[in-house]
Amino acid sequence: MSQTLDQSRFQHEIILVIGAGTMGHGIAGQAARCGAQVRLYDANLEALERGKAHIEAIYQKAIVKSKMTQEDVDGALSRLSFINPNQQSLTNACAGVTVVIEAAPERLELKQKIFTEVEAVVSQSCLLASNTSSLSIDKIAEALNHPERFIGMHFFNPVAIMPLLEIVKGKATSEEVIARTRWIGETLLKTPIVVKDAPGFATSRLGIALGNEAMRIYEEGVASAEDIDRAMVLGYRHPIGPLALTDLVGLDVRLAISEYLHEQLGTDTFKPPQILKDKVAKGELGKKTGRGFYEY
Ligand SMILES: NC(=O)c1ccc[n+]([C@@H]2O[C@H](COP(=O)([O-])OP(=O)(O)OC[C@H]3O[C@@H](n4cnc5c(N)ncnc54)[C@H](O)[C@@H]3O)[C@@H](O)[C@H]2O)c1
């Protein structure tokens, strides 16, 4: 089970989060809230600024819901720093960090490139984690000299709310790193599960299977988006329907995962539905662009 908030557990940690998008800002905000010194880096300054604004909004919401006081928010913001990519390099941002959590786009070569750069400058004891939702941890680790300290830390969206942390152990990941990742997850108030590196792990494989079928049902005109979502919410007690969830996650993110799982597992379940490809081509990426299966 997850811990109650004890900020002193994180007093010696400096966590670098790479990528300030949907997931990165959520992870950074949660880590600072839980007591860590956090650096948030994004290759794009506008994305970094958006990430900062989203973190402030999350904290304001937490005040309204009496989950944080103004003092908690001030403390969390004082522990957060935002690394302007036009003024500082990623390697500068790595100085003295104890944990790196990468939340850059879901592309193997990009993640490998980031970790190659990071590994060259961080200390031997620094834990390296990827928030990938589907890519192979072993494949990303091929870029590393010390794959034993590399692991998957798969958070869920929105990070401040979703209690699960799916920890993905690669073939080379050491037991010590698995135990440390569990401890980090619990300190972040998450409940960890540990799974082996396999396409889509446990969560994305099941989530994409359901999401793709929901899109095919919609495409075939069997039911409206609202009714497909209601079916899962009211009939199966899902907190949110599969199409609304696709909008929340981002249709581009879901398409990339679906293509990857189709390539890896070969079954038609993972073949991306045509409507998903069409919407992504039109720039209808879900909540982040104002339109997906719903309008925002
Ligand atoms: N969206 C979700 O619900 C979700 C859930 C769990 C895991 N994930 C995974 O998390 C990762 C990030 O997904 P996201 O939805 O936050 O994506 P996103 O597109 O919202 O954010 C990615 C960010 O990375 C930045 N970026 C691009 N190249 C970079 C680089 N070289 N260095 C630093 N930053 C760089 C982009 O500017 C962008 O702000 C992916 O691996 C994804 O599969 C996503």
DSSP classification of residue 83: E
| Residue range 224-280, pLDDT digits in tens | 999 999 999 999 999 999 999 999 999 999 999 999 999 999 999 999 999 999 999
Q: Do both 117 and 262 map to the same domain?
A: no
Quick check: is 294 in a domain? no
Q: Do both 18 and 66 map to the same domain?
A: yes
Distance, CA 16 to ligand 1 centroid (Å)? Answer: 14
Ligand 1 atom at minimum distance from 47 CA: 39
Pick from 115, 190, 253 the residue to mutate for probing ligand 1's pocket: most ligand atoms within 8 Å of its CB.
253
Quick check: is 293 in a domain? no
Q: Do both 284 and 263 map to the same domain?
A: yes
Ligand 1 atom at minimum distance from 113 CA: 31
Q: Do both 13 and 101 map to the same domain?
A: yes
* Three-state secondary-structure class, residue 199: coil
Q: Do both 163 and 54 map to the same domain?
A: yes
Q: Do both 137 and 180 map to the same domain?
A: yes
Beta strands, E only, the chain: 14-18, 37-41, 80-83, 99-102, 127-130, 150-154, 164-169, 191-196
Q: Do both 156 and 214 map to the same domain?
A: no
Residue range(s) defining the domain that contains residue 123: 7-196
* Residue pair 232/242 in contact by the 8 Å Cβ criterion: yes
Q: Do both 148 and 249 map to the same domain?
A: no
CA dist 255 and 74 (Å) reads 38
* Residue pair 98/13 in contact by the 8 Å Cβ criterion: yes
Quick check: is 295 in a domain? no
Distance, CA 193 to ligand 1 centroid (Å)? Answer: 22
Domain final residue, candidates 196, 229, 251 = 196
CATH of the domain at 68: 3.40.50.720
Percentage of residues of the chain with pLDDT beyond 70: 99
Q: Do both 215 and 102 map to the same domain?
A: no
Per-residue pLDDT tens, the chain, 296 aa: give them.
456 889 899 999 999 999 999 999 999 999 999 999 999 999 999 999 999 999 999 999 999 999 999 999 999 999 999 999 999 999 999 999 999 999 999 899 999 999 999 999 999 999 999 999 889 999 999 999 999 999 999 999 999 999 999 999 999 999 999 999 999 999 999 999 999 999 999 999 999 999 999 999 999 999 999 999 999 999 999 999 999 999 999 999 999 999 999 999 999 999 999 999 999 999 999 999 999 999 99
